[in-house]
Structure 1
Amino acid sequence: MIQKRTLYYSLAFLCILSLTGCSTPAGDRPFYIKNLAKSDIDLVADAHIDEINRLSRELTIKLYQRNPRELAKAPAGTSIDDRLALIFNTPRIINHPELFYRYGIDSFPLVFDPNFTGDRVFALMIGISGMFHAAYNYQDQFFLFDSLDQQKLYNSARNLEIIIWRLSHLKLPSGEPFLLTNGVSDDGIFNLSFERLFGKMIAHQDMMARIISDKTNRTVNKAFFSLATTALFPI
């Protein structure tokens, strides 16, 4: 990985030697040397990763605000900021003893296990963020010789649809939902903020899958499936 990254920056350095100047006009976006080693698709992928991470962080905060009992299950003194750091800091931590060292889609069964006594929000967001992390080859940035798999991107969007269905329909033995998401407030206003966030994430993954499919001229296998019965797709 280090040799590969060194090659990228060497390429960028050789490119910049051929330039007579790289000043940034007032009001334009800043110029980064590393971007010389990126194609347009790489820059688009970087932007999608940044937005997916931003939406995932927003979702994590909203889930803890809606389900404060889950944060209380975390080790004493754990704050929402602590959880955000564990989930999103770079480099990513993918081994979490609280979740029996599960990551990505392997974490989802814990969310819907009545016998799981840990933090379900943490399990859910390690599942969602880890699934997207895997769909982008566990990378935070892309360069000229990197590639993406359109099927993984597409599958991650379908998996999120399945998880949303489970959050809405699966219940604890007591009849309560495993996690509270959308609902009606005390003043009768229906809260759809979670649905909007999930929808944006699905749209980003579908768009990125289409971009990569068009670039590689490879089709996406769009299999018909049932939200209620289909197992999660591999990433």
Structure 2
Amino acid sequence: MVDPFLVFLRHLRLPLMAGALLASLSACSQQQGRDIVSQFSQGRPQELLQTSVDRMATLSMRDNLRSLYLLMNKLYQRNPNQWRQSGYVDASTAERQIRLAIEQRQPLAQLGERRDLAALSYALSPEFRGDRVGAFIYAIGSMLVTAHGGRTEFFMTDTIDPQFVSNAARNIEKATWLLSQRQDANGVLLLFSNEISEEGSNLSFAVEFGKIVARLDLLAQMLDERYRRIGLNYAQSLLLMNFLPVQ
């Protein structure tokens, strides 16, 4: 004979389990809601005018400039004679002024009116006389900004040519190789960067440049896919002859 109390417990278990499940889902929903509100409150109002690709481009530019400034600091440490030729009182002041020149698109005195590729070629030439570290970093930074349409922050109204971004990545690869190869008339490297010797190796420069190239290539692919999808969506709408909603 079945115990009536056991039957009662079986019938009671299902509502209790359902109640526990609903309570758990409700707690998760509330937590997700709080997370969304928290993330939204931490954002800036202008982010509402950015698509996901715009935001990615903005963050990529921010991280690439940070990598570039880190490389500038490391190059000054490896080549302490360079900042003294900049006319600034110390390396920190030189770094700060070069950052401002890049981000505000101002010319660098020792490069004249040269920017982008012209500045890069001149900075890596034996004829250049001045702060080669500052000129080299400024040239790459100004090239990055130019390749992104002259901006460091991007919104829905902005367009970025993926081909220019990809070209910038290839230029940085070439510049990295030239940095490790270019020598003066006495056979001394114009700038010391990566080092492989019996005492040890330092490839941190190549690694950081590699991060910049990787970010640029990923962004170029994302941009290319976005524009490709826009064209495909338009073609599909014509092919299917779909009318567009009006409300």
TM-score (normalised: structure 2): 0.73
CA–CA separation in structure 2 for the residues paired with 1:170 and 1:91:
28
Match for residue 227 of structure 1? none
Q: Which has the larger radius of gyration?
A: 2
CA–CA separation in structure 2 for the residues paired with 1:27 and 1:154:
32
Alignment of 1:142-161 (within 5 A): 142-161=154-173
Match for residue 244 of structure 2? none
**Aligned-pair CA distance for 1:129:** 0.5
**Aligned-pair CA distance for 1:114:** 1.8
2:221 to 179, 191, 210: 210
Match for residue 98 of structure 1? 110
Larger CA deviation: 36-45 vs 105-114: 105-114
2:95 to 75, 84, 89: 84
% identity of equivalent residues: 27
Task: Describe the SS at the equivalent of 1:197.
Answer: helix
Alignment of 1:15-164 (within 5 A): 25-26=37-38, 30-77=42-89, 79-89=90-100, 92-164=104-176
**Aligned-pair CA distance for 1:133:** 0.8
Match for residue 9 of structure 1? none
**Root-mean-square deviation (CA), in Å?**
2.4
**In the alignment, is the contact (CA less than 8 A) between 1:55 and 1:201 conserved in 2?**
yes
Task: Describe the SS at the equivalent of 2:82.
Answer: helix
Cα deviation per residue 1:88-147 (whole Å; 9 max; x = unaligned)?
Answer: 238514312211221121111222322322111011011110111111111121111111
Tell me if 1:195 matches 2:202. Answer: no
CA–CA separation in structure 2 for the residues paired with 1:134 and 1:112:
19
**Aligned-pair CA distance for 1:26:** 4.9
**In the alignment, is the contact (CA less than 8 A) between 1:83 and 1:122 conserved in 2?**
yes
Cα deviation per residue 1:164-205 (whole Å; 9 max; x = unaligned)?
Answer: 1111222111001111010146x7110010010010011011
Structure 2: segments with no counterpart, 5+ residues: 1-33, 230-247
**In the alignment, is the contact (CA less than 8 A) between 1:87 and 1:129 conserved in 2?**
no
Match for residue 239 of structure 2? none
Alignment of 1:221-232 (within 5 A): none
**In the alignment, is the contact (CA less than 8 A) between 2:55 and 2:154 conserved in 1?**
yes
Cα deviation per residue 1:61-98 (whole Å; 9 max; x = unaligned)?
Answer: 00101111111111151x22222322223851431221
Larger CA deviation: 117-126 vs 80-89: 80-89
Task: Describe the SS at the equivalent of 1:130.
Answer: helix
**In the alignment, is the contact (CA less than 8 A) between 1:49 and 1:140 conserved in 2?**
yes
**In the alignment, is the contact (CA less than 8 A) between 2:105 and 2:142 conserved in 1?**
no
Structure 1: segments with no counterpart, 5+ residues: 1-21, 219-235
CA–CA separation in structure 2 for the residues paired with 1:88 and 1:153:
20
